[in-house]
Amino acid sequence: MNERRDSQRIPVEMNAVLNYQAQIMACTIRDISLNGALIGDLPMELPYFNAPVELGLTLNAGGESKQFRIPAKIRRVTEKGAGLSFGDVAMETYFSLVNLVYNA
């Protein structure tokens, strides 16, 4: 399978939560970019393909750890996890992602 990437992905091991409607699912981010992430350690009851979700994670912002909530959609599900594409993010979130991806 040939995948197109718009931005660099970096491997990480970050705890996160996936919010879908009234459900909160603990997960682990396996890799992340400015446009999306691969999440693993998910329960079997994943939302459907293209479902709108929210990814909650902790990033460095101005030298301190801060919680962020990123709107996303599930773009693929494999045995390794679920691929998310991010929606519009706030400027502070974007700069924190830039810091993580390009300064790792």
pLDDT score at 31: 95
pLDDT of 14 strictly over 50: yes
The ranges assigned to domains in the chain are 10-102
Closest CA to 26 of 38, 13, 42, 11: 42
Are the CB atoms for 89 and 97 separated by under 8 Å?
yes
Are the CB atoms for 36 and 85 separated by under 8 Å?
yes
Selected residue with higher pLDDT from 33 and 9: 33
pLDDT digits (tens, 9 = 90+) for 34-61: 999 999 877 666 777 898 999 999 998 8
Right CATH for 10-102 from 2.10.10.90, 3.90.1170.50, 1.10.150.120, 2.40.10.220? 2.40.10.220
**CB neighbour class for 81 (10 Å; exposed up to 12, middle 13-18, buried from 19):** buried
Task: Give the count of alpha carbons within 13 A of 82, CB side only.
Answer: 27
pLDDT of 88 strictly over 60: yes
At which residue do the structure tokens 């990437």 appear?
Answer: 5
Q: Are strands 81-86 and 64-78 parallel, antiparallel or unpaired?
A: antiparallel
Give pTM, 2 decimals.
Answer: 0.87
pLDDT of 15 strictly over 80: yes
Share the mean pLDDT of the chain: 88
